[in-house]
Structure 1
Amino acid sequence: MKLLEGGRTGQIWRNGDTVVRPAGAWTPTVHRFLRHLGSRGFRGAPEPIEISGEGQDVVSYVAGRVCENLGDPSVGSERMLMSAARLLRDFHSASEGFLESDGEAQTWMLPPREPREIICHGDFAPYNVPAADNEAIGIIDFDTAHPAPRLWDLAYAVYRWAPLSDPVHPGVAFGLDEQLRRAEIFCTAYGATAEERRDLPEMICRRLQALVDFMLASAAAGDETFAEDVDAGDARLYLNDISYIGKHRDRLLGALC
């Protein structure tokens, strides 16, 4: 087996055409959801294979290059940006109907958000979107999937893909002007409505605050992964970005609307 890089270092492995990773209480629900996506013709997600007796989540391997650095010409290209937005839209369309058709008790890692329009991915960021030939071709890591409004997912995606993060942070590839341009391109390729565009800045801040609250609560409850993230300053970074987005809210609205 080959160790895969990314979150939960040392716990995610590729075994041939499969990926083996730790299962959680939410994994049976996620497997049913992945089957639903397949039944709706969405081919960009892993296929669920089994939850092993050793507590391992086994899914099919989604081929493609994953890279978090938007400064990489291929990952940060306009072509990749637009294809990622279209992929998110197609995923949202395929996710429709699961809440109504799934007949079993559902468990999610993240709390559902009202209105429960669709199943959101919850972490639609470059590091979870495999690409080929500068185009997004798949989505991986569905641990954070949960019921919520479409805008909840779109908000976090725009935050990550623009990215709407203060350029003073290490690794932020673009300044404000380019961030605003990329945010508008993503919304247009996704097909965001005028109402969604108007609500986007506030929703991004709500989404980031919810992430911070979840991280801090999980760390306090003894989750080592989230404790490490908090110690590394991730929660503080998100809070700084909430302030950054608030500071430039009017310019963001002007770019989007």
Structure 2
Amino acid sequence: MACDETVYDESNVMSERHMERRGIMIVLSSPSGAGKTTLTRGLLADNPDIAMSVSATTRSPRPGEVDGIDYFFINKDRFSEMRDADQFLEHARVFDNYYGTPSEPVFGALEQGRDVLFDIDWQGAQQLTEAASDDLIKIFILPPTLRELEKRLRSRAQDSDETIAKRMSKSEAEISHWAEYDYVIVNENVEAAQAKLQTIINAERLKRKRQPWTSRFVKDLIDGA
């Protein structure tokens, strides 16, 4: 028997709504060694719809890092050219190196409804706040103690004693900017910290201002469409 009724496919409707959502910029900041990189990797593994913002940097690659995936490794002359051409959404000097976020791929992802994750410091977070505060959520990761922070730095076996000492001396200054962030997570246990991070992302995605399709949906709901 023929039927003229249209089959209701909720998955297609939700997909269309997702595409209407503008993506959010998720900033994770912390002193070096607080576990930010581990939390970042976990968040990306659990959320295939989150794109990692790949920064350009003038520092040398660490063991295992891949150009174009972990960072765009460029020299200082090239960095200066990009900065002067206003091709960075944010940029900063950290220790003796420079870091910057190319703007074009970030805005492209947001327009497509994809979230973009930033692994940057407080200086970059301040610049992003000035450039795109409506799209931004900022999360600061704290270590349980400074002693534990130093222990984690040494366990990585990637930096010299001199570099570790330099990082530790700067950690208090970095931590002092915690109040500039929307959320703070103390990373005493990585699994618990990961769960808190995911809760924040889920809640931010559900904010009314980030779901512009809801106005039409509610109108249709009331009208019986």
TM-score (normalizing by structure 2): 0.31
Specify which structure has the bigger relative contact order, considering alpha-carbon pairs within 8 angstroms and separated by 6 or more residues: 2
| Greater strand proportion | 2
For normalisation by structure 1, the TM-score amounts to: 0.28
